[in-house]
Structure 1
Amino acid sequence: MFQIIGIVVLFGMVFGSYIMAGGNMGVITHALPHELMAIGGAAVAAFMIGNGMPVIKSSLAGFGKAFAGPKWKAADYRDLLALLFQLTKTMKSKGVIALESHIEKPGESAIFQKYPKIMKDHFAIDFICDTLRMMTMNLEDPHQIEDAMEKQLEKHHHEALGAPHALQTMADGLPALGIVAAVLGVIKTMGSITEPPEVLGGMIGGALVGTFLGVFLAYGLVGPLAARLKAIIDEEAAFYKIIQSVLVAHLHGNAAQISVEIGRGDIPSTAQPSFAEMEEALQNLPNEA
């Protein structure tokens, strides 16, 4: 919502100030299609040259994410802690054998099925199940498991940041592409040097639209959207960090509720439930584990 408001304010302030200063929008609107074709087309082409299909797809999806915000809400963090509570409690109270049926086929697990949104995140489910599977294979050294989990998180986060990095690279290149378009406009103007001054003035003004457009798109739209997308990805990474915190705490021999409380501390402040809220949520869980 704030991103849409920001875009409206951006256009209103920039073009509003231009009009109030006596600027002629006709010059911009006349040159805009050609300049946008040169700058936007070149930027898209360079984007396709410099990135693979996975990054291109995630970048396109990233525009929607930048407006929608992080996918994990406060209720999702509570659900994750409740899921981890049930899994660690089952492992501690009923043993490894009771846990195996849940982690081998999470889609059929009575515990996992209660959290459909988390089930849709394949990395989260694989991350939980793979880690618990290592524990059931008698790999009980907390430091080894924490190191293995850290490497998985780093790899996943690095891959997720491919889209904002690609968009930021596009933003960095847009001002230079605007200069390219402006130079082409100057070349066209020099080819018509015998025209009267009023005609040459319009042609030079149209050429300068290219420089304006490149800078405007870079610092007004694409760059801020890339920064917004990176911030969202960084925030969403906390969701997976909670999994690591809870399972490592469990390996250190803590009770399930203590492990969950350690994980609660990693939740972003805007979505973090209070101790009392989390305790009430855990007490209301059905005893199906």
Structure 2
Amino acid sequence: MFIIIGLVVVFGSIIGGYLIANGNLAVLVQPAEMIIILGAAMGAFLASQTKYTLGLVIKNIKHIFGDPGMNKARYLETLALLNSLFSKMHREGVISIEQDIEKPESSAIFTKYPSISKDKHIVHFIGDTLRVYLTTGDPSDIESLMKIDMESMHEEEMVAPGAVNRMAESLPGMGIVAAVLGVVLTMGMINEPPEILGHHIGAALVGTFVGILFCYGIFGPMAAKLENHAHEMHAYYNVIKEGVAAAIRGSTPIIAVEYGRRAIPHAFRPTFAEMEEKLKG
């Protein structure tokens, strides 16, 4: 939603200001310039990708127009899910959650929180960690394993914003290429009247304008949006890591989820009373 609002503001401000200055919008419509700039930038983008990185970019495009959905309610749901698992471990032993982590789709604990359990990455992050602990009974390396998992996921999530940002950075250069070609064409018409030369020089300058606009007004913000999405998800997984690590170290369920609560960013962090009310509910 914010990306759409932002783009509307960008184009509204530019076009509005241009019209106020009595600009002619028809002059800005230069299909040849667009083909040169966008085509060359897209070609350079594809040339820089591997099958793996291109797949990640395509997979993450949806995040440009979506939102991670991080809010206080989502974090409370996550803490409640973790508390249910930790409480069962505390009451009945670690082995009691074996079926919950082996078959989360039929687990009474996971299915109670559909907004969390429908995300397979989150379920696997929790389940795989507890499965290792259940199998080995050794808590010493569990937190390190979660950190490795988080770093790997974060690096993958940063591939798409990096690729889109590099394409954005290439657009001003491609705009200059289009502008230079426009000047070359204009020089071939040097004997034409000034009004015709002026029209072609203006068309050439549109190339520079479009390259800069697309870089800082469209693709740059898209890359930043993907990067912000990755950082928010990393913070979310960190909450889970802190809670699970504390539970495996032997902390009581309420202390373990308190570790998770303290890791929540301040903008979304519920108070202890709010968390306690959610857990009781």
Q: Which TM bucket (shorter chain)?
A: over 0.9
Q: Is 1:232 matched with 2:229?
A: yes
Q: Say if 1:181 and 1:207, in contact at 8 Å, map to a contact too.
A: yes
The range that moved more, 74-83 or 212-221, is 74-83
What is the alpha-carbon distance in structure 2 between the residues aligned to residue 256 and residue 96 of structure 1?
A: 13
Structure 2 residue aligned with 1:209: 206
The range that moved more, 12-21 or 260-269, is 12-21
What is the alpha-carbon distance in structure 2 between the residues aligned to residue 15 and residue 264 of structure 1?
A: 46
**Count of paired positions:** 281
Counterparts in 2 of 1:118-157, with a 5 A limit? Answer: 118-142=116-140, 144-157=141-154
Letter in 2 for 1:100: E
Specify which of 58, 68, 72 is matched with residue 70 of structure 2. Answer: 72
Q: Say if 2:168 and 2:214, in contact at 8 Å, map to a contact too.
A: yes
Structure 2 residue aligned with 1:108: 106
Counterparts in 2 of 1:1-289, with a 5 A limit? Answer: 1-29=1-29, 31=30, 33-53=31-51, 55-60=53-58, 62-142=60-140, 144-284=141-281
The range that moved more, 260-269 or 170-179, is 260-269
Change (3 A) 1:8 1:51: same
Structure 2 residue aligned with 1:287: none
Deviation at 1:156, TM superposition (A): 0.4
Give TM-score, length-normalised by structure 1: 0.90
* Cα RMSD after superposing both structures: 1.8
Deviation at 1:78, TM superposition (A): 1.3
Q: Say if 1:81 and 1:264, in contact at 8 Å, map to a contact too.
A: yes
Deviation at 1:58, TM superposition (A): 4.5
Q: Say if 2:175 and 2:209, in contact at 8 Å, map to a contact too.
A: yes
Summarize deviations over 1:228-271 as a string: whole Å, max 9, x none: 22112201212211111001111222100110011011222232
What is the alpha-carbon distance in structure 2 between the residues aligned to residue 122 and residue 92 of structure 1?
A: 25
SS in 1 for 2:108: coil
The range that moved more, 197-206 or 63-72, is 63-72
Q: Say if 1:66 and 1:229, in contact at 8 Å, map to a contact too.
A: yes
- Identity of aligned pairs, percent? 45
Change (3 A) 1:61 1:71: farther
Q: Say if 1:238 and 1:268, in contact at 8 Å, map to a contact too.
A: yes
Deviation at 1:93, TM superposition (A): 1.4
What is the alpha-carbon distance in structure 1 between the residues aligned to residue 60 and residue 211 of structure 2?
A: 21
Deviation at 1:64, TM superposition (A): 4.1
Q: Say if 2:37 and 2:211, in contact at 8 Å, map to a contact too.
A: yes
What is the alpha-carbon distance in structure 2 between the residues aligned to residue 45 and residue 200 of structure 1?
A: 31
Deviation at 1:113, TM superposition (A): 1.2
Letter in 2 for 1:216: L
SS in 2 for 1:111: helix
Structure 1: gaps of 5 or more residues: 285-289
Deviation at 1:57, TM superposition (A): 4.9
Structure 2: gaps of 5 or more residues: none
Letter in 1 for 2:35: M
What is the alpha-carbon distance in structure 1 between the residues aligned to residue 60 and residue 212 of structure 2?
A: 22
Summarize deviations over 1:139-194 as a string: whole Å, max 9, x none: 4234x111111011000000011111111011110000101111111121122222
